[in-house]
Amino acid sequence: MRCTSLKHWALYSAPLLIVLGLLWFGFGSEREVAAFFKDHRAAHAGLKTFLRLVTDWCNPLFYVFYAGMLLTAWRSGNRERLRFVLVLLVVQGVVAGLAVHFTKYLIGRPRPGQGGWYEPLSGRAAQEALPSGHTTEITGWTLPLALRAARAAVPLLLGLFLALVGFSRVYLGWHHPTDVFFGWLLGSVGGFAAVIIADSSLFRRS
């Protein structure tokens, strides 16, 4: 792995990790985080609406983006870009789709305000907090762009967007900070995998 890619990953990840660090060290427990934002949501309807839009539309935005990239690559005959998007779609299906849902189902962590008992294999949405699927998916969409960027400003801007999405999941009461952290971690695995596979000789015609 190139040193530049690791630097871009660090720059990209920094905003979210700073936000999570502030939540971890600013409160005594994740239960206190959930209680604080529950009260804050009740008093700030405008912010709640804005973050609901962020959390609902963050991933669909990239569905459109990559669909456009796929279409233009196919029309122009850009095989490298076409390969990149197709590899990314497969990796996202495996990591952000299958792996996330299997892990949620297997662990059974309760969402904020749903009690403290883990219920593995329950299949109930209230027991599927860990990891954050939204965070995993948005990391998987944006990290490959950050790693392949020529300018350091791109990873930073994408990282700020990631931090906003991750924070929205905590603010809206859907996830604990650690859920978001592990979503970022799992999404990072997917993002690196997509770039490494797309740039490798794997599945290429000789």
What six digits make up the tokens of 151? 């300018």
The full set of domain ranges for the chain reads: 38-199
> What was the pLDDT predicted at 152?
87
Query: Do residues 199 and 144 make contact, with C-beta atoms less than 8 angstroms apart?
Result: no
What pLDDT, in 10s, does the model give residues 63-114?
A: 999 999 999 999 999 999 999 999 999 999 999 999 999 999 999 999 999 9
> What was the pLDDT predicted at 202?
72
Identity of the amino acid at 71: L
> What was the pLDDT predicted at 205?
63
What six digits make up the tokens of 157? 């801007």
Percent of the chain clearing pLDDT 70 (strictly above):
96
> What was the pLDDT predicted at 169?
98
> What was the pLDDT predicted at 201?
79
pLDDT at 115 over 60: yes
> What was the pLDDT predicted at 123?
87
Which backbone phi and psi does 132 adopt, to 5 degrees? -75, 115
Q: What is the mean pLDDT of residues 38-46?
A: 97
> What was the pLDDT predicted at 200?
87
What pLDDT, in 10s, does the model give residues 57-76?
A: 999 999 999 999 999 999 99
What pLDDT, in 10s, does the model give residues 124-177?
A: 999 999 999 999 999 999 999 999 998 889 999 999 999 999 999 999 999 999
- The mean pLDDT of the chain is 94
> What was the pLDDT predicted at 188?
97
pLDDT at 1 over 70: no
Question: Mapping DSSP to helix (H, G, I), strand (E, B) and coil, where does residue 128 land?
Answer: coil
CA–CA separation, 43 vs 46, rounded Å? 9
Query: Do residues 183 and 136 make contact, with C-beta atoms less than 8 angstroms apart?
Result: yes
What pLDDT, in 10s, does the model give residues 2-17?
A: 656 889 999 999 999 9
Q: What is the mean pLDDT of residues 171-184?
A: 98
Higher pLDDT, 205 or 124: 124
CA–CA separation, 8 vs 98, rounded Å? 27
CA nearest to 9, candidates 202, 201, 196, 199: 196
